[in-house]
């Protein structure tokens, strides 16, 4: 396969060679994201440097014009807004927040050049089929490796796992997106008979997400999985339905029999979701959900006092006062203030003010709507936009140094799959 891949790339045009390099490097960066931060960052930076040189050369030497591509420019604006906030504010008490903003802002700016190069060549670049399948093979292999390692760690320790991240939750969010990406790639671009391996991927995902004990990720993945299985089952032939149904039943039985280390804790945490909401109303706010409610209210209050932005020192001082006076001094909320407010829009609004919030909302809108304008029937982009927007309402993904550029790389990957030079074999 490697020889054929090299031969296929050698015989392609320069533009298609460049497209293959972009696709493979982006795929490797995504695939190693939850396994080796060093590898994923190295391939990300190499790709961005190539993209920056390419964009400047095309814009200044060849075409002598700069195009307006909404996705690239919104990502660029998001990165600039973060860096400007770091430059314009002083954060002595909470330097970690400024550091995260600085790194994520820089990476978003660089990632915008990747998106610019991709969209500029949407109808010009063609990626050989073998190159696409090689990338998907790398992605699938890394998914299996990461899943097996994390499940083994969980079974040995019994503690919530962190998938190459600072917290179990952020790892669960990116892993959910990664899993959906793998299954989509296998179904539409790699395998003729994809159902069994997709079911295996789905089962492994449930095992890993259960090990993170992240309720929002488990619930979203359950809904998406159930919907995709029902849809695919309805479109299958009668023979495929029998085989497919048997495989699903077998996996469910196996999960029920062997899943005791998982589902008791998971079901308990999901059951507690309603109890935590109720207890907040009753005044017991020192819970995961209660802390979020307290921080959201505090963040909105801090924004009202400084609608055009403020430092993390100022925001956290105001938020601490609000939580102490109006939220019973919620200790879980106060503990998390040193990081973020567990909501991307509120967190951005409380620090960067109204302009930062507008850029954040605009990014979500572009991520959700624009791909449908760019490519016909771009339903696959919902596999990215829905989880990103959903998770951002209960946590803060764009405070993180790593997650923002991962999201942009996934967007670039989905766009580049549309450049495949040969249609996949017809599914059965």
* pLDDT value, residue 6: 64
Q: Phi first, then psi: what are they for 91, rounded to 5°?
A: -130, 80
- Give residue limits of the domains in the chain: 2-278+343-417, 283-332
SS (HEC) of the chain: CHHHHHHHHHCCCHHHHHHHHHHHHHHHHHHCCCCCHHHHHHHHHHHHHHHHHHHHHHHHHHCCCCCCCHHHHHHHHHHHHHHHHHHHCCCCCCHHHHHHHHHHHHHHHHHHHHHHHHHHCCCCCCECHHHHHHHHHHHHHHHHHHHHHHHHHHHHHCCCCCCCCCCHHHHHHHHHHHHHHHHHHHHHHHCCCCHHHHHHHHHHHHHHHHHHCCHHHHHHHHHHHHHHHHHHHHHCCHHHHHHHHHHHHHHHHHHHHHCHHHHHHHHHHHHHHHHHHHHHHCCCCCCHHHHHHHHHHHHHHHHHHCCCCCCHHHHHHHHHHHHHHHCCCCHHHHHHCCCCCCCHHHHHHHHHHHHHHHHHHHHHHHHHHHHHHHCCCCHHHHHHHHHHHHHHHHCCCCCCCCHHHHHHHHHHHHHHHCCECCCCCCCC
Rounded to a whole number of angstroms, the CA Rg of the chain reads 23
Q: Which residue has better confidence, 164 or 264? A: 164
pLDDT higher than threshold 80 for residue 279 = no
Q: 386: closest CA among 406, 401, 364?
A: 364
* pLDDT value, residue 340: 84
* pLDDT value, residue 423: 46
Structure-token pair, residue 28: 């490797």
Q: Phi first, then psi: what are they for 86, rounded to 5°?
A: -60, -40
Q: Within 13 Å, how many C-alpha atoms sit on residue 143's CB side? A: 30
Q: Phi first, then psi: what are they for 360, rounded to 5°?
A: -65, -45
Separation between Cα atoms, residue 257 and residue 425, nearest integer Å: 37
Reported as a single tens digit per residue, the pLDDT across 223-242 is 888 888 777 777 666 666 66
Q: Which residue has better confidence, 372 or 391? A: 391
Q: 341: closest CA among 325, 328, 322?
A: 322
- What average pLDDT does the structure give for the chain? 84
pLDDT higher than threshold 50 for residue 427 = no
Q: What is the mean pLDDT of residues 304-322?
A: 93
pLDDT higher than threshold 80 for residue 250 = no
Based on the number of CB atoms within 10 Å of its own CB, is 248 exposed (0-12), middle (13-18) or buried (19 or more)?
A: middle
Question: Per-residue confidence at 8, pLDDT binned at 50, 70, 90?
Answer: low
* pLDDT value, residue 285: 72
Reported as a single tens digit per residue, the pLDDT across 151-170 is 888 888 878 888 876 777 88
Question: Per-residue confidence at 288, pLDDT binned at 50, 70, 90?
Answer: confident
pLDDT higher than threshold 80 for residue 219 = yes
* pLDDT value, residue 175: 93
* pLDDT value, residue 425: 40
Separation between Cα atoms, residue 395 and residue 422, nearest integer Å: 40
Where do we find the tokens 């690239």? Answer: 72
pLDDT higher than threshold 90 for residue 108 = yes
Q: What is the mean pLDDT of residues 394-409?
A: 88
Where do we find the tokens 């539409």? Answer: 188
* pLDDT value, residue 422: 54
Separation between Cα atoms, residue 24 and residue 10, nearest integer Å: 15
Reported as a single tens digit per residue, the pLDDT across 195-208 is 788 888 988 898 88
Q: What is the mean pLDDT of residues 212-225?
A: 86
Q: Which residue has better confidence, 220 or 272? A: 220
Question: Per-residue confidence at 210, pLDDT binned at 50, 70, 90?
Answer: confident
pTM (two decimals): 0.89
* pLDDT value, residue 327: 83
* pLDDT value, residue 90: 87
């Amino acid at each position: 396969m490697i020889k054929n891949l090299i031969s296929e790339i050698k015989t392609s045009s320069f533009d298609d060679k460049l497209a293959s390099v972009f696709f493979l490097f982006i795929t490797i960066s995504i695939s190693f994201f939850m396994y080796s931060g060093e590898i994923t960052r190295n391939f990300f930076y190499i790709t961005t440097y190539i993209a920056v040189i390419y964009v400047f050369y095309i814009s200044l030497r060849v075409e002598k014009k700069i195009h307006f591509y909404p996705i690239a420019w919104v990502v660029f604006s998001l990165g600039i807004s973060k860096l400007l906030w770091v430059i314009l504010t002083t954060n002595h008490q909470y330097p970690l927040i400024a550091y995260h903003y600085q790194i994520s802002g820089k990476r978003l700016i660089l990632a915008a050049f990747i998106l610019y190069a991709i969209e500029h060549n949407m109808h010009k670049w063609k990626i050989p089929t073998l190159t696409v399948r090689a990338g998907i093979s790398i992605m699938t292999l890394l998914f299996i490796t990461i899943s097996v390692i994390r499940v083994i760690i969980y079974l040995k320790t019994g503690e919530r796992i962190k998938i190459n991240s600072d917290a179990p939750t952020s790892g669960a969010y990116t892993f959910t997106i990664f899993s959906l990406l793998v299954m989509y790639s296998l179904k539409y671009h790699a395998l003729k008979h994809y159902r069994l391996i997709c079911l295996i991927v789905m089962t492994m995902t449930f095992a890993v997400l259960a090990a993170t004990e992240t309720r929002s990720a488990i619930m979203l993945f359950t809904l998406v999985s159930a919907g995709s299985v029902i849809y695919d089952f309805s479109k299958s032939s009668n023979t495929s339905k029998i085989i497919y149904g048997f495989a699903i039943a077998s996996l469910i039985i196996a999960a029920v029999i062997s899943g005791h280390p998982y589902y008791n804790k998971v079901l308990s945490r999901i059951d507690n979701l309603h109890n935590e909401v109720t207890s907040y109303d009753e005044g017991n706010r020192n819970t995961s959900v209660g802390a979020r409610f307290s921080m959201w209210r505090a963040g909105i209050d801090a924004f009202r006092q400084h609608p055009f932005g403020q430092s993390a020192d100022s925001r956290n001082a105001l938020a601490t006062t609000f939580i102490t006076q109006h939220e019973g001094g919620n200790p879980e909320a106060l503990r998390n203030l040193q990081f973020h407010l567990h909501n991307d829009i509120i967190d951005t609004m409380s620090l960067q003010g109204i302009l930062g919030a507008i850029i954040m909302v605009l990014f979500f809108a572009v991520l959700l709507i624009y791909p449908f304008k760019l490519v016909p029937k771009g339903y696959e982009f919902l596999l990215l936009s829905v989880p990103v927007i959903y998770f951002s309402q209960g946590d803060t993904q764009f405070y993180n140094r790593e997650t923002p550029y991962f999201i942009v790389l996934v967007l670039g990957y989905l766009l580049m799959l549309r450049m495949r030079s040969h249609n996949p074999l017809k599914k059965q």
